[in-house]
A and B are shown apart, each in its own frame.
Chain A
């Protein structure tokens, strides 16, 4: 795999963030935060009338991007911040770029900047370290 600083990770597309997935996720997480399933609560916050995606769910789109790129057991480290909410029906694209390549005990790692892209906004921003395949 030819990877170097500046290599762009193939993007991963989430064409539409589905509210029913937020509800399933809330049940699995035992997450009582109503903004994920009650539009009225979001409206009272002045954020419109679309439910807000769980932070980990947005992060999972970037994990899916990394899986597609370097394999399902490649993710070693993730950091994530959440500057903006992602809403139901949003179209978001996971993107990333390699910032460093290192070798340790004959194993090669890539450090990456990763983010969600929503029409030029970056609602989620983070970093990842992945194990590169041979």
Chain B
């Protein structure tokens, strides 16, 4: 795979996903919570780790599309730089959230040992206009060509 033009990467800055709505189903939260090694949470609470996939899917995108957007050489070429999560309210099952998402940074990084494109995504969850949570996902798209 050829190295994407740096201009194409920089042009991703400001890109907005379609946006949409997402409801965390009980079955989904049950299985997700079980995967974490925790028992079910009380009071219809969703496990906070849902703040990884719920914003992505709710904003009308997917991990696959986010890989493709940055011209990933393959799934294994992606490295996680960091996640930053903020909760204004606890997440709950069976509550429909409004979700927006966009690219907030896109740049080529050249070091002595590697070249990668650093792409940062921000997603926001709201409930009837009230902020619920936000997440910033920063990935490194490693380039070998």
Contact = CB atoms under 8 A, between A and B. Distances in A.
| A and B interact | yes
Interface of A: 14, 21-22, 24-25, 28-35, 41, 45, 55-57, 59-61, 63-64, 67, 72-73, 75-82
Q: Which 8 A-B pairs have the closest CB atoms?
A: A60-B36, A56-B52, A60-B49, A21-B35, A29-B53, A78-B85, A33-B75, A73-B90
Summarize B's interface: helix, strand, loop or mixed.
Answer: mixed
A75 B35 contact: no
Contacts of B48: 60, 63, 75, 78
Interface of B: 28, 31-32, 34-38, 41-43, 45, 47-49, 52-53, 57, 62-64, 67, 75-76, 78, 80-87, 90
Contacts of B43: 72
A47 to B, nearest CB: 10
A30 B57 contact: yes
A63 B82 contact: no
Given A30-B63, A60-B49, A72-B45, A25 B35 contact: yes
18 contacts: A14-B37, A21-B37, A28-B53, A30-B57, A30-B64, A31-B63, A32-B64, A34-B75, A35-B75, A55-B80, A56-B49, A57-B49, A60-B37, A64-B37, A72-B45, A78-B86, A79-B83, A80-B83
Given A28-B28, A81-B81, 12 more contacts: A21-B34, A28-B35, A33-B75, A34-B76, A41-B76, A56-B52, A57-B36, A60-B48, A75-B87, A78-B48, A80-B82, A82-B80
